[in-house]
């Protein structure tokens, strides 16, 4: 079964990515985690994301497109990235989520991936 692990971090932790003194440890922890996921052969796909200020939000209201620079909502935790893994079940997905660096200072949301519709 496939699960998406969605990694969120407090804004101050997310900022470590750009801090020359803290970035090596930050990215090193993620490289170690992602290496373990790849080594286990369960990675389907995944990506880190640029900071929220680079986002653009689109809505359709009254038939018109509205475009807003920045994220949809002002939140305390930032969406840092995601991976999709293929494992035997929820317990295995939760075990991998618990190993993510952001599990210690942010959160990891685990969601089953819907299979494509049968045609």
- Which domain range does residue 72 map to? 2-112
Looking at per-residue pLDDT, the higher value among 74 and 38 belongs to 38
CATH of the domain at 29: 3.30.70.1060
Taking residues 67-95, what's their average pLDDT?
87
The reported pLDDT for the residue numbered 41 is 98
Distance separating alpha carbons of residues 101 and 96, to the nearest angstrom: 11
The reported pLDDT for the residue numbered 74 is 60
Predicted confidence (pLDDT) per residue in 17-64, tens digit:
999 999 999 999 999 999 999 999 999 999 999 988 888 888 899 999
72 pLDDT exceeds 70?
A: no
Q: How many domains does the chain have?
A: 1
Residues 6 or more apart whose CB falls under 8 angstroms from that of 79 comprise 6, 7, 8, 49, 52
Looking at per-residue pLDDT, the higher value among 46 and 69 belongs to 46
Confirm whether 117 is domain-assigned.
Answer: no
Beta bridge partners of 10: 77
């Amino acid at each position: 079964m496939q699960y998406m692990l969605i990694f969120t971090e407090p804004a101050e932790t997310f900022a470590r990515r750009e801090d020359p003194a803290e970035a090596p440890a930050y990215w090193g922890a993620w490289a170690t985690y992602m290496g373990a996921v790849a080594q286990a052969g369960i990675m389907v796909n995944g990506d880190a994301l640029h900071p929220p200020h680079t986002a653009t939000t689109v809505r359709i209201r009254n038939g018109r497109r509205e475009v807003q620079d920045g994220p949809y909502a002002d939140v305390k935790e930032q969406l840092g990235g995601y991976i999709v893994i293929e494992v035997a079940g929820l317990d295995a997905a939760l075990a991998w989520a618990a190993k993510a660096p952001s599990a210690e200072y942010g959160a990891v949301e685990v969601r089953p991936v819907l299979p494509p519709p049968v045609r």
